[in-house]
Amino acid sequence: MAYLYLIIFFITLGTGIISPLIAPMLFTENGFFAASVTHEQRVYAYALIMGVYAVGMIFSHLLWGFIADRIGGKKAIIWALSGSLLGYILCCISFIYALFFLFLWGRLLDGFMAGRRSVAIALLAQQGQNSSHVFRYAEIANGMGLLIGPAVSGLLINFSRPVPLYYYALPLAIMALIMITNISLIAWAPLKNSVPERKKHMKFDLSGSLLKLYLQFFMIQLSWYGYFLVLTPLVILRWQFTPLQVGLFFSGMVLFYIFALGIIVPACREFALKNLLTGALLVTGFSLLFMFYTSEIFWKFLIGNIGVITGMAFLNPGYMAQITAQTDSAHRGKVVGIQSGLIGFAWLCASLMLASGISVLSGQIFLWASLLLLILGVLRFIKLIN
């Protein structure tokens, strides 16, 4: 099973490389746009880039989940990785020729292939191990990719003088090589009978407790991506972060996320998972509220970020484990696919909010994100005490 965690690591390594790259390419003069392009237009372009990727994600995870349940996880991952490779090649060409629309198409295609991660996680969940452990280790592999990726990207594009746009294509070329490595890994992986049997399994029922968990998960992801999408332009516009500083900032946050993941198992031994999730919702909500009122002061901004990341380190794997526990292994592809599709829809909604005119510097997104989580946390707390 180790190679499946390695595949998840490589997938998120590519994501980690491109995340700090997008904002500098839109908000600096060395990017796609001339100096005459206004700040508002750049924000719209940023929201558009994030939005088209999210559109692909909405359909991708559910689509690839169903495909994996039909043809098997191994074939599904190979096809998804191949499509993602084409998307990275398009993005690389867009930097060479300064074609913003081609970059859009590349991100959209990569979004439609984002279901590769869901397929890998579904395969892990089918191996019969404790689901909470599987998702915790998957989150650690995910976090390691996001830890290393931004730092690598920042180092590769940390030029000491203004350079042409095509210089910034190097991280994208590396991502293409990562996809080729991923395809080779999964092609040689000793997967056995990854297509589940169709008989003697309970019917997939999207109602009741499963539907409630999905709704809660969507609210959490909507708050998370509202926070996440504002983070990069905020540190660039308010504190003039360089690409290297953006990369190191993200890597530092992810390092703390991985550390927080490491304390989940000891915490679960002392407290019930439902109690931990309720506490994590309240901690994350109050941290976002703290950021809304104090984000102009950098050290207070960092404290708020640490609170958000700590809470999400409990919420993400915790809800993933609870959701998958509602069905049997024959439907894991669908379950993880729907869950990841909700992530894409939350990302799209957050992008639309950003494009609607919400000021990046005002921190308004932190406020509504905190209210969502606090409402959810209070409702769960009331249910616990009753």
The HSE-up count of residue 376 (CA atoms within 13 Å, CB side) is: 29
User: Which residue segments constitute the domains of the chain, with CATH numbers given?
Assistant: 2-191+206-385 (1.20.1250.20)
- State the average pLDDT over residues 98-117: 89
Q: Among the ranges 16-25, 83-92, 197-206, which has the highest mean pLDDT value?
A: 83-92
Q: How distant is the alpha carbon of residue 171 from its chain centre? A: 19
Band (pLDDT 50/70/90 cuts) for residue 237 is confident
Q: What is the reported pLDDT for 200?
A: 47
The pLDDT, as a whole number, for residue 114 is 83
Residue 199 has pLDDT above 50, yes or no: no
- The pTM for the full model equals 0.74
Higher pLDDT, 220 or 252: 220
Residue with tokens 């790259």: 21
Alpha helices (runs of H) in the chain, residue ranges in sequence order = 2-27, 39-71, 73-97, 100-112, 115-125, 131-156, 170-188, 208-239, 243-262, 264-270, 273-294, 298-324, 332-355, 364-385
pLDDT digits (tens, 9 = 90+) for 6-35: 878 888 888 788 877 787 788 777 778 887
Choice among 142-151, 170-179, 187-196, 261-270 with the minimum mean pLDDT: 187-196
pLDDT at 193: 46
* Cα–Cα distance list, 332 to 70, 135, 146 (Å): 12, 13, 25
Burial of 343-371, coded b for 16+ CB within 10 Å and e otherwise, reads bbbbbbbbbebbbeebebeebebbbbbbe
pLDDT at 281: 96
Q: Which residue has the higher pLDDT, 94 or 69?
A: 94
Give the model's pLDDT for residue 333.
62
- State yes or no: pLDDT of 183 exceeds 50: yes
Least confident segment among 119-133, 146-160, 173-187: 119-133
Tokens at 285, concatenated: 């909500």
User: Which residue is it, tokens 């008989």?
Assistant: 199
Highest mean pLDDT range out of 4-13, 29-38, 226-235?
Answer: 226-235
**pLDDT, tens digit (0-9, with 9 covering 90-100), for 354-376:** 877 677 777 889 999 999 999 99
Q: CB neighbours (10 Å) of residue 219? A: 18
The stretch 48-69 carries a mean pLDDT of 83
DSSP-derived secondary structure for 92-107: HHHHHHT-HHHHHHHH
Given pLDDT bands bounded at 50, 70 and 90, which one contains residue 260?
confident
Q: Cα dist. 311→192, 253, 278, 280, 350 in Å?
A: 36, 13, 10, 5, 19
Q: Give the pLDDT confidence score for residue 328 in this predicted structure.
A: 62
